A and B are shown apart, each in its own frame.
Chain A
Amino acid sequence: MSLFILTFLNGMTLAALYFLVAAGFSLIFGLMRNVNLAHGSFFLLGGYIGFEAAAASGSWLLGVAAGFFAIALVGMALQVTVFRWLAGQELRQTLVTIAISVIAADLMLAAWGAQSYQFDMPEIFWGALDLPGLDLRYSRYRLFILLVAVVIGVALWLILNKSRLGLMIRAGVDNREMLEATGINVQAVFVLTFGLGAGLAGLAGVIGGTALSLSPGEDLRYLLASLVVVIVGGMGSVGGAALGAILVGLADSFGLAYSPTYGVVYTFVLMIAILTWRPQGLLGRA
């Protein structure tokens, strides 16, 4: 029983981490139809930059902020220099971003080497917490990730569905010319959205790097995780990303606990099954 509860918690907290990375990917793809396979590189670069900032300033929170804002800037720059010229060309976006991620991975290897990096987390997150009512202990930090994911998820949903910016983004995707005709600078809206999505990946880099660690290859791993999450859940909806993250997180963690050898295969079989049955994902718009 305690293994079941711990596995469930592991799955949910892993899902929280996946959600943080995938939410940005989903935002960028689902709303702007930009396929950004360099999203994993954003995650890793954000983590490294956050690590440097945290090490220099001694503050983990500053590291989180640095990860977010630095990658938001990188994302905006990429939108202006690359994506705006490739609007509507999904295949070329895919290829260009694969090329960017190959180059980025190599340059990051040059800059930060191949060793793994771990953050010094704030003292209050360190160690394990006794779970009330259960004879179990669980990592404080992983519970914190769950909280962050919920807060960011709710905030994203509010921005997209209740704010003026969200209204503009959605309108811009549905009918760009019409929105431009009303005098709104659509390009600026898209740059902002891209920055937000990329920044989330950078933030996740610091948060995830603290829970696990940063090393070359993490970019590809989180890219794959985001792809699976977003595709299972359905692109472009916050709820879809959350649902996808929970399914994938639980599948990963229960697979590993109860069928360690093939657990990792099941995640991808799940994805294939869902895509075959519903190509647009569980909550995706057709």
Chain B
Amino acid sequence: MLVLALVLIPTIANDFFLVQIFAQAAILGLIALSLMLLGGWGGIVSLSQMSVAGLAGYTLAILGQSSMSQSLGSNSWLAAAAALAVALIVGFGIGLLVGRTRGIYTIMITLAIGVAVFYLANQNYAIFNGFTGYSGIAAPHVLGVDLRAPLPFYVLCVSLALMGWAGVAALGRSSFGKALIATRDCERRAAAIGFHVGRHRLVAHTIAGLLAGLGGILLVWFNGRISPGTIGVGPMIDILIIAVIGGMSRPSGAFLGAFVFVLLRTFAIDLVDPERFNTLIGLVFLVIVLTSRDGLLGLLGKLSKPERRKMSPRLKTLEREETS
């Protein structure tokens, strides 16, 4: 049903919708999906997923082609592979750094990591080209198809998003996913029955790094550019907002949240006074958070079949995590 809809969309939507709405939602959804994996199943709310995506994006810009003289100009696919490798390593590294923290402290340390990465990129010209960053980066051609054109880019983003979705959903059903959820629900019990909690979390960080890196590469192709503004505090919080308004209990939430977020951000300026559209975004976010524990997924669940709520795994967030 979903796949059918995604195939039909290009026949009715114009190019702007294909790229600016659907492809962008798929990209932001992928990054939010990495947070959903960490936060929803691992109980680790990380604000630095946008930084992982950004570092992958920067790797692509630096190694690949752009209109800046710093770029090394190597093959796009090689650069993309290197970017994914960087994302994996950074994800793993962040996992090591935040391994001992829990709950609100994890939010704080990942915020600090994100801000440090932002300032580093902003201040460094030799590698990151400072405030201006890199622009003029285009998605490559494959077998004569220009991935930059709206339809191919839509297909690329949406299929990678579907793969990410399916991958994370499969992960959730695997023994690793169940163990991760167990560590979230009760760390001590999980440890007592023999799970290696630290190792599971580290693996989760690494996989999340891969997803965010994928999103980061697509984001650079989408914008044609990257600069510190791409990975500032605002975008970091946007990813959290997306994950939360969608709902963190299942992978679909990340994409649902991204879709609603992108629609709001693009069209709020038409709905209300252009200078007040942030109020509208804030209000929608506030209402969703206050009325539902599981974002839009929770609301939709209530709307369609109230009794189904019991079947979905209860989203137990960090609320009662102890800090030590």
Residues of A within 8 A of B (CB): 35, 88-92, 94-96, 98-100, 102-103, 105-107, 109-110, 220, 224, 227-228, 231, 261-262, 264-265, 268-269, 271-272, 275-276, 279-280, 286
Residue of A nearest to B283 (CB): A103
Q: Is the interface of A mostly helix, strand, loop or mixed?
A: helix
Enumerate 23 A-B pairs (CB-CB under 8 Å) in ascending A order. A35-B104, A89-B317, A95-B240, A95-B289, A96-B286, A98-B237, A99-B283, A102-B278, A102-B279, A103-B282, A103-B286, A105-B278, A106-B279, A224-B233, A231-B105, A231-B112, A262-B119, A262-B123, A265-B119, A271-B109, A279-B101, A279-B109, A280-B324
Residues of B within 8 A of A (CB): 45, 97-98, 100-105, 107-109, 111-113, 115-116, 119-120, 123-124, 233, 237, 240-241, 244, 275-276, 278-279, 281-283, 285-286, 289-290, 293, 317-320, 323-324
Q: How many whole Å from B41's CB to the nearest CB in chain A?
A: 14
Partner of A89, one of B107, B116, B240, B319: B319
A89 partner residues in chain B, CB cutoff 8 A: 317, 319
A-B contact count (CB 8 A): 113
Contacts A98-B240, A269-B116; A261 near B123 (Cβ below 8 A): yes
A105 partner residues in chain B, CB cutoff 8 A: 278
Q: How many whole Å from A113's CB to the nearest CB in chain B?
A: 10
In whole angstroms, what is the CA distance A280 to B237 when docked? 23
Residue of A nearest to B39 (CB): A91
Q: Which of B241, B281, B285, B293 has the most CB of A within 10 A?
A: B285
B278 partner residues in chain A, CB cutoff 8 A: 102-103, 105-106
Taking a contact as CB atoms under 8 Å apart, the answer to whether B115 and A268 are in contact is: yes
Contacts A99-B289, A103-B279, A224-B233; A265 near B104 (Cβ below 8 A): no
In whole angstroms, what is the CA distance A110 to B280 when docked? 13
In whole angstroms, what is the CA distance A92 to B285 when docked? 11
Taking a contact as CB atoms under 8 Å apart, the answer to whether A110 and B113 are in contact is: no
Taking a contact as CB atoms under 8 Å apart, the answer to whether B318 and A265 are in contact is: no
Taking a contact as CB atoms under 8 Å apart, the answer to whether A268 and B318 are in contact is: no
Taking a contact as CB atoms under 8 Å apart, the answer to whether A280 and B323 are in contact is: yes
Taking a contact as CB atoms under 8 Å apart, the answer to whether A91 and B113 are in contact is: no
B233 partner residues in chain A, CB cutoff 8 A: 220, 224
Taking a contact as CB atoms under 8 Å apart, the answer to whether A110 and B289 are in contact is: no
Q: How many whole Å from A36's CB to the nearest CB in chain B?
A: 11
In whole angstroms, what is the CA distance A92 to B119 when docked? 28
Taking a contact as CB atoms under 8 Å apart, the answer to whether A271 and B319 are in contact is: no
B244 partner residues in chain A, CB cutoff 8 A: 95
Contacts A102-B278, A103-B286; A279 near B240 (Cβ below 8 A): no
